[in-house]
Each structure stands twice: as structure tokens, then as C-alpha cells.
Amino acid sequence: MDRANPNLALPNTAAQFAQSLKLSIQLMGDLEAAMLEETRAIETRESDSLLRVLASKRDLVARLEEETLLQKQWVALAHHPFTPVGMTKFFAGVGDDGQLLGLWSILRESSTRCDGMNRSNARLIERGRKRVATSLRILIGDDGTSATYNPRGRTESTTPRSRTFSQA
């Protein structure tokens, strides 16, 4: 997928590129919905639901990557970089009346929202992982860094070694 398609031609009209952007926006909207489902599955700890959502997410991301690759190739064929400045020049070159720039902005905003949701879901997963790890440590008798504060506000261990839950 990283190779440029030798049979690829520049879009004949701004409408062709607009269709590609609209498809990307639709896919990104579907990805946002999947990420909301992912959040619910993480919060409710429904592993079957989470696995289903992750498979859907993986498919959506693959389709988005394919469409983005096509867009990058079109922009490269017009000798512009796939950057904000390059995109502005590309849009002007295909006769954009402002529609493409508007669609591009919508796509970028959606991408930013998805990135934020992905980071939030990663934090939820990490928090859950830490909770499980702490619970396991307590159950096996290693309460880790249990400490109290001394009069100066510094932590100090209350016992030289930790006790198991049943001993406490």
C-alpha cells in the first residue's frame, strides 16, 4: 500500500476529490461511533463487545488508510506535499470553490476528535490494568508501597515487610 499506483491519474474535477473526502468523513464518523462503543465496552468490562468493536475499528482504520493513500497520491501527482499548505495549493489547482477546503477541515476536526477519544480509551484501559495489578498484589500479600506520612510529610514504611491479606 505504500507504493504509488502507476495507473493513478489526477482527479478530473474537484468533485472527484470531494467524493473521496466525503467517503473519508463518513468512515471517520463511523470510527467515532465505534470509539464511543469502545468506551462503553471498556467502562462496563464487556470483553465480547470490546473484541467486536476492536475488529470493526481495525476495518474502518484500514479503509481510511486506503482512502488517505489515494488522496496523498493525487496530491503528489500534482507536485504538492500532503501538508496544510500543499493541500491549499492542490485545492486551488483543481478549481476548488471552497468546498474542498471545507470538507478537508471537517475531516481534520473529526480526526482530532478520534485521536482524543483514542487517548481517553487508552487511559481507561491503563487505569483498569493498574487496578487489576494492584488487586493481584494485595491478594498475594504484596501491598507494594504502603506507607504512612511522618510529621514532616515524608512517607515512611510502617512495617519492615508487608503482610498477606489473611495475616492482616
Q: Is residue 162 part of a domain?
A: no
Residue 14 near residue 74, CB atoms below 8 Å: no
Selection from 101, 82, 79 nearest residue 17 by Cα:
101
Residue 111: predicted pLDDT: 95
Inside any domain, residue 157? no
Question: pTM here?
Answer: 0.73
Asked whether residue 32 is assigned to any structural domain, the reply reads yes
* 131, part of any domain: yes
Structural domain contains residue 8: no
Give the model's pLDDT for residue 19. 94
Q: What is residue 162's predicted lDDT score, i.e. its pLDDT? A: 54
Q: How many domains does the chain have?
A: 1
Instruction: Supply the pLDDT for residue 144.
Output: 60
Residue 70 in any domain: the answer is yes
The whole-angstrom separation of Cα 156 and Cα 148 is 6
Helix intervals (H) in the chain: 14-44, 47-77, 84-93, 99-139
The whole-number pLDDT of residue 2 equals 43
pLDDT digits (tens, 9 = 90+) for 120-143: 999 999 998 888 888 888 888 776
Dihedral over alpha carbons 82, 84, 87, 88 (to 10 degrees): -160
CATH code of the domain in which 61 resides:
1.20.58.300
For the segment 91-108, the average pLDDT, to the nearest whole number, is 88
137: three-class secondary structure by DSSP: helix
- Whether residue 103 lies inside any domain: the answer is yes
Q: Is residue 2 part of a domain?
A: no
Q: Which domain holds residue 50?
A: 14-144
Q: What is the pLDDT of residue 1?
A: 43
